Amino acid sequence: MSDTPLTKEQVEALLLRGPFHQWLGLSVVSVGEGEIELKATWRPEWVVNAERGYTHGGILATLVDLTADWALVSKTGRGVPTVDLRVDYHRAAMQGDLTCRGTVVKFGGQISVAEARILDAEGRLLASGRGVYMTAPAK
């Protein structure tokens, strides 16, 4: 477990080790005790319906999962495996960067719960969800 808080820059360096996270165009806006805010830079490859131009739900689910996961970084110092995930879609995500906010609900020695909200540039809720994560110490 992490005894000293990681800086925003340290968390971003850890997060962006993953090529998929790089492809998503992620950046860390802020990190606090049990919370994180990320920005995801919109990509044309996210579009699922060319006529309407909205983002595929899988991208939103991915952002819910990784944001909730990384909200736990202030406690774990690392990303952790997902055990279970629930996502609710509230409106279509149109072209534009997304804000992703995650918060720890309960931190446990083995299993933890965190939630995330995905917002568009106007602050409208696009998707939200809650995940269960394996936070047992890494071996």
Q: Using one digit for the tens of pLDDT, what is the confidence trace for 30-88?
A: 999 999 999 999 999 999 988 998 999 999 999 999 999 999 998 898 889 999 999 99
139 located within any domain: no
Task: Indicate whether 99 pLDDT > 80.
Answer: yes
Task: Indicate whether 138 pLDDT > 80.
Answer: no
32 located within any domain: yes
pLDDT (0 to 100) of residue 3? 61
3 located within any domain: no
Alpha carbons 43 and 95: distance in angstroms, whole number: 8
Question: Across the chain, what does the average pLDDT equal?
Answer: 94
The pLDDT > 70 percentage for the chain reads 98
125 located within any domain: yes
Alpha carbons 17 and 45: distance in angstroms, whole number: 21
Task: Indicate whether 5 pLDDT > 90.
Answer: no
119 located within any domain: yes
Average pLDDT over residues 117-131: 98
Q: What is the CATH classification number for the domain harbouring 75?
A: 3.10.129.10
Q: For the chain, how many structural domains are there in total?
A: 1
1 located within any domain: no
pLDDT (0 to 100) of residue 4? 72
Looking at 1-5, 42-46, 62-66, 97-101, which range is the least confident one?
1-5
Helix (DSSP H) and strand (DSSP E) numbers for the chain: 4, 8
Question: Strand, coil or helix: what is 101?
Answer: strand
Q: Domain residues for 78?
A: 8-134
The answer to whether 115 touches 122, Cβ cutoff 8 Å, is: no
Chain-centroid distance of CA 15 in Å reads: 10
Task: Indicate whether 2 pLDDT > 70.
Answer: no
H helix runs in 35-134, sequence order: 57-71, 73-76
What DSSP state is assigned to residue 44? G
Average pLDDT over residues 85-109: 97
2 located within any domain: no
